[in-house]
Amino acid sequence: MPSPSLAEADALRVAPALTPAASPEQAPEVWPLTARTVDNRLHVGGVAMDDLVRACGTALYVVDEADFRHRAAQWRQSGADRVHYASKAFLCAEMVRWVDSEGLHLDVCSGGELELAVANGFDPARIVFHGNNKSPDELAAAVAHRVGVVVVDCHEEIDRLARAAARTGRVQDVYVRITPGVAAETHAYMATGGDDVKFGFPVREGHAERAVLAVASHASLRLAGVHCHIGSQITATEGLALAAERVGLFVADMARRHAVTVDEIDLGGGAGIPYVPGDLRLDPAEFTAALRTGLARVLPPGTVRIAVEPGRSMIGSAGVTLYRVGAVKDGLRRRFVSVDGGMSDALRPSLYEARYTAWTAGRTPRGTPVHSVIVGRHCESGDVVVPDIALPSDITPGDLLAVPATGAYHHAMASNYNAQPRPAVVAVSDGQARLMVRRESPADLRRRDAHGEPVQLSRV
């Protein structure tokens, strides 16, 4: 049978759904709260983005401080007893100070995040230390810094932490991370609450029970609570309520069978935000209400305190990434708009097939919509910033494109692939711009080269 012609193949091909290019006025849900089009130019925080680019270059991360502080206040008022900012979404020295000034607690996932927080004056007693494979050195550092709570994720961590705390004479507060067997409705790589994941101790077959009893057996550890997180980018509440119910049942069972009392349940974060027009946002009050609803099915009111750990939902919508268009090329089925960034500063589309929208930052385009894809400058076919978007036909080299909802996981996941220096991060507020993280230079990358320096081997 002969192969189909290109025209026949096109006829068989299912056309992808195109994401509309959307200005702040057309889709305010995906843009920072202060984003506006003024005189055909994009402004965030009262700052014109084309002016900012002339001062700072591209690619460039921009953070709307007012947006972050607004959403931090929403979480404080959500009904949770304690709110931790999940620093893996985005952390730098200035961000540590913002979180502190908002009266939030802080969730860190590595020794590096811990040191960054402590070095910038954050009270270690308000830190929760996460991670599924914390090293002995990291656990010792947590004890030495007097971190408020360490979340243990495996039996090796329980033993290592107990020894580290015993050496100092301290009693370290601990959460035991459990997995309740609830599958979040999200990308498989962002689901963390099922039975077969790398995080925590499954409730099934007694794994979580044995972990709690192991913590209780160590005089240098105190069971401060249990922890559960079912996944990220969640926009429906049913799974949250079910997870809370199952955690509540586990807590009640531990009290009944072993007289082990749990005073606090940390039910993680994961509240979703809009990335493209029409996407939903899970409101902080709805998130916390779902958790309380689930717990109320199995525990009397007031039995436990609730802690939450939002990250993306606090910083994600505050971020915008600015790119300069370098080339526009028509393919057989769509137009390729190449920008001066890509998977080195925007990994999520390649990693999770995450979708975004975009708009011009320096002028308002007038062309008719054309099936386009915004691609990066890296040597990978998967280097896509915005797939299948209806961009105006008059986008041209030299134009500025702004991609909203990039405050979470973009800077945090950035790399030096193809020896690409990482972009700067700039905060904008009330017409002022302040540098949060400086732009890397090629010289910064060269400083890491050791030029064959000998390694002194330690022989056993």
341 vs 125, 402, 448, CA distance in Å?
A: 39, 12, 22
Overall size of the chain counted in residues: 460
C-alpha angle 195-200-205 in degrees, rounded to nearest 5: 50
Sequence letter at residue 331: G
The dihedral through the CA atoms of 313, 426, 388, 384 has a sign that is negative
Cα separation, 17 vs 20, in Å, equals 9
Name the pairing type of β-strands 369-375 and 36-38: unpaired
- Describe the crossing of helices 207-216 and 238-258 by its angle, rounded to 10 degrees: 50
CA distance linking residue 297 with residue 303, whole number of Å:
12
Q: Which residues have a Cβ under 8 Å from the Cβ of 117 and sit 6 or more positions away? A: 87, 91, 96, 106, 108, 124, 127
Q: Using the Cα atoms of residue 131, residue 134, residue 139 and residue 141 in order, give the sign of their dihedral.
A: negative
Residue 117 to residue 98: CA distance in whole angstroms: 11
Integer Cα distance of 52 and 62 in angstroms: 9
Distance CA 236, CA 279 (A): 12
The Cβ of residue 458 has, within 10 Å, a number of other Cβ atoms equal to 5
For 290, the token pair is 């779902």
Hey, which residues does 401 pair with through a beta bridge?
A: 323, 360
**Residues with a known catalytic role:** 379
CA atoms within 13 A on the CB side of 120: 18
Structure tokens at 302: 């007031």
How far apart are the C-alpha atoms of 289 and 312, rounded to whole Å?
Answer: 19
